Structure 1
Amino acid sequence: MKLSRIAAAVTTAALAPAVLIASPAFAAGSDAPAAGNQPAPTTPDQAAPDQSVPDQAEEDRKTILAIIAHPMASEYMKEAGRKAIADGPQAMRKFIEVDQHKIRLDDYRVAIVRLTHEAGPSLTEGINDILDRGATLEQLRHFYEVTQHELRDVDNRVEILKLISTGGSSVKEAGQKALKGTPADRVAFLKTGRFLAQASDDRVELSRIDEGWEGPVLSGAISKLLNGSPTPAELRHFLEVTQYELRDQDNRVAIAKIIDGGGPELVKAGRAALAGTAADRAEFLKTGQHEARAKDEAAKDKEKPAPGKDGQDQGDGSGSGGGTSSTGSGSGSGNTAVAAQDGNGAPLATTGAGDNTTFIAGGAGTALVAGAGLLLAARMRRAGANA
């Protein structure tokens, strides 16, 4: 019995290690891999990617699409952005970090240069200054988005002051109101308000012209215009263009009436005016017609007989003849002396002595009186001396 127990114990001790070594493989089943094929453990520097962070290339692509969709993006910016997307992640990253800023700098410069098209003096000076001093991208952006509007308002104020100085009452009132308002008020005045105010002043001016004009063509057109519903542009065009065309039509009619039956010089000057310009016709009516009339009057005076020497017509040298004598008054009006008449209006008979006889007799009498006076004075002086 003792020998059999010892043999069993020895057998159990010999089999125990084999059983213990084989038990894990058995527990894992027949599909468990061999010990040499196990995956390597995950190390801290080989962490699995975080699926919550978007792909960088996709983010860059979206950023570039937003850049080229911006209103300020030029065609060159759009072309460069599309090319970067097509060239891949590295090209997109370079476009975002470097290229877009260089292109944007050029785009702002081009946009600022374009502002000079409608720029006033202040804005033009500001544009030249910002472009000449090598401004940064941020400075260019600030000028385009802020400074240009401030300078435009300065120019708008100057323009409104000019309109006020030359405009009518309505323009002055509306302009003063705009100057006291906001920059937007001033822009609105220059864009539309000035024309509405000008239309009111133009109506007043047309009424004034109608009252002072005598021609039927212009007056009729003014009445028709004001009785309708003209736009501000139509009123302004009538004052600046149409009224002068209609004035000239009235002037043509007036000149034709003036030269009808006029003298040679008047007809000649009138026809020359009709064949000339509108300014020629206006000048004829203002001064030319009067100068031509004066020439015609002077020509008539020259056609009258010239007066003779000593107030008598030049005869045959003997002083005799049957012609009527005339005085040399210089106006060609003839003798103005009137023969004496009796109570019935018939001429009295002449004594043979002309009017000169009366003057001679009067002169002789005066001389006699003067001589007697001198003689009396001499006698009185001698009497005084003897005493």
Structure 2
Amino acid sequence: MKLSRISSVVAAAAIAPAVLFASPAVAADTATSPASSAPDTASDAKPDTQGNAKADENNRFAILEIIHKSKPDSRVYEAAQAAMNGSPEDRVRFLEEGYELAQFADDRLRTVRILSVGGKGVRREAGEALKKGTHEALRQFLEVGQYKARDEDNRVEIFTILVTAKPGSALYDAVQEALDGSPEDRTRFLEVGQHAARETDDSILVTRIAMTGGPHVKEAARKALWSGKAADVRHFLDVGQHEARKLDEAEAAKDKDKDNGKENAKDGQESKDGQGAKDGKATDGDKQKQKQDGTKDPEESNDTTGVKPAVAISSTGSSDAQLASTGASSATPWVIGGSAVALTAGAGLILTSRRRTSSES
């Protein structure tokens, strides 16, 4: 009997350091944020109050199990370590009431942390649990209430994303699936799905911009897509496309200036040709028009005979000179009228003279 007790104590002493030194690492690997970690469950271990060595050995194993499940910075972990280092009575007291009190303190602290980082629904439920002030209310919130409230907040956040998503986009479709799915689907969408959908939509948008952009825009879009990195695609949409478009616009303006220079040179040549025609050199077009009108070019009017049409010029140098060749002018009626008056006057004088001669005879 004594040998069996000694062997049990030796075995417990042998594994205790391994458990104590290993428990912090396990806790660190499984630790998560207050908003997403699963609630701790109270241990069902009860103290062995027989008061003998076997009972104390059982209590040690129960406390070691609690330490293994607890976080190194928790009140439960610290109280359990103190009980392991204390007397058998300390271990019994810890298992009877100390563990419950330490767990209540940890649950209260954990509820406060969740409240500080939670959404509207989570803050509401956490506040009600803290207001009640009972360990049962805290356990209810940690085990059930926080998850229902978090799904409520997730729905609100997903609806906010839905307002900004364009119908037909990958993000819009992913939002609809999340709303129709389970609470886990909504959590997965907010953590992973929405980012994957946004990357898909960004890649499609870059492709569309490249199809209508200039050479520099196309090249920048190609590099962003072929890099395979979402950050490069996002940088192109935020910055790269605008820089590339400025380069394309600068080159287009430069080409336009060259075209304007050629056009100005062409206009200058035409102006020079027009000035030459004005100085007395008829252009081919003018010569052709003169031939159609039946007139000759001044340069072509000097034929081989050297004969020019005669033009009669009056002594007055008036514009009626051309009428001299036909014997009619604007002064002809006055000349005729004057001659008639003169003839009438002469006839009268002759008749008067004859009457006087006959009377004298």
Task: Normalising by structure 1, report the TM-score.
Answer: 0.50
The answer to whether residue 90 in structure 2 is matched with residue 125 in structure 1 is no
- The residue number in structure 2 matching 1:152 is 103
Q: 1:196 to 1:138 in 2, by over 3 A?
A: same
Distance 1:219 1:286 in 2: 21
After TM superposition, give the deviation of residue 99 of structure 1 in Å: 4.2
After TM superposition, give the deviation of residue 105 of structure 1 in Å: 5.3
- Is residue 157–residue 186 contact of structure 1 (8 Å, CA) maintained in 2? yes
Distance 2:225 2:103 in 1: 50
Distance 1:301 1:155 in 2: 70
Aligned mate of 1:111, from 57, 65, 70:
65
What is the percent sequence identity of the aligned residues? 28
The answer to whether residue 269 in structure 2 is matched with residue 285 in structure 1 is no
Q: 1:127 to 1:198 in 2, by over 3 A?
A: same
The answer to whether residue 152 in structure 2 is matched with residue 200 in structure 1 is yes
After TM superposition, give the deviation of residue 141 of structure 1 in Å: 2.1
Aligned mate of 2:190, from 216, 229, 239:
239
Paired letter, 1:111: E
Aligned Cα root-mean-square deviation (Å): 3.8
Q: 1:108 to 1:163 in 2, by over 3 A?
A: closer
1:124-181 Cα deviation digits (max 9, x unpaired): 33334444xx301121122233222222222222222222222222111111111122
Distance 2:66 2:99 in 1: 9
- Is residue 171–residue 194 contact of structure 1 (8 Å, CA) maintained in 2? yes
- The residue number in structure 1 matching 2:317 is none
Task: Normalising by structure 2, report the TM-score.
Answer: 0.53
1:197-253 Cα deviation digits (max 9, x unpaired): 111111111111011122622112322432x3x322221111111111111111121
Q: 1:145 to 1:213 in 2, by over 3 A?
A: same
Aligned mate of 1:300, from 242, 252, 255:
252
1:97-146 Cα deviation digits (max 9, x unpaired): 85414533542452343243x56533333334444xx3011211222332
- The residue number in structure 2 matching 1:184 is 136
Distance 1:174 1:244 in 2: 29
- The residue number in structure 2 matching 1:172 is 123
Distance 2:108 2:51 in 1: 43
1:72-115 Cα deviation digits (max 9, x unpaired): xxx959x99xxxxxxxxxxxxxxx88541453354245234324
- Is residue 120–residue 152 contact of structure 1 (8 Å, CA) maintained in 2? no
Q: 1:162 to 1:288 in 2, by over 3 A?
A: farther
- Is residue 224–residue 233 contact of structure 2 (8 Å, CA) maintained in 1? yes
Distance 1:296 1:123 in 2: 67
Distance 2:139 2:56 in 1: 34
Helix, strand or coil at the partner of 2:199: helix
Q: 1:205 to 1:137 in 2, by over 3 A?
A: same
- The residue number in structure 1 matching 2:347 is none
Distance 1:218 1:97 in 2: 66
After TM superposition, give the deviation of residue 194 of structure 1 in Å: 0.9
Helix, strand or coil at the partner of 2:212: coil
The answer to whether residue 94 in structure 2 is matched with residue 140 in structure 1 is no
Q: 1:225 to 1:279 in 2, by over 3 A?
A: same
Q: 1:303 to 1:282 in 2, by over 3 A?
A: same
After TM superposition, give the deviation of residue 323 of structure 1 in Å: 6.6
Aligned mate of 1:263, from 194, 214, 234:
214
Q: 1:103 to 1:286 in 2, by over 3 A?
A: same
Q: 1:123 to 1:264 in 2, by over 3 A?
A: farther
Q: 1:124 to 1:284 in 2, by over 3 A?
A: farther
Q: 1:76 to 1:242 in 2, by over 3 A?
A: farther
Q: Mind listing any 5+ residue stretches in structure 1 that lack a counterpart?
A: 1-59, 61-74, 81-95, 307-312, 314-320, 326-349, 351-387
1:30-87 Cα deviation digits (max 9, x unpaired): xxxxxxxxxxxxxxxxxxxxxxxxxxxxxx9xxxxxxxxxxxxxx959x99xxxxxxx
Helix, strand or coil at the partner of 1:260: helix
Q: Mind listing any 5+ residue stretches in structure 2 that lack a counterpart?
A: 2-6, 13-49, 269-277, 279-361
- The residue number in structure 1 matching 2:173 is 220
Greater RCO, 1 or 2 (C-alpha within 8 Å, sep 6+): 2
Paired letter, 1:157: R
- The residue number in structure 2 matching 1:100 is 54
Distance 1:322 1:101 in 2: 112
Structure 1 segment 68-79 matched on structure 2, within 5 A: none
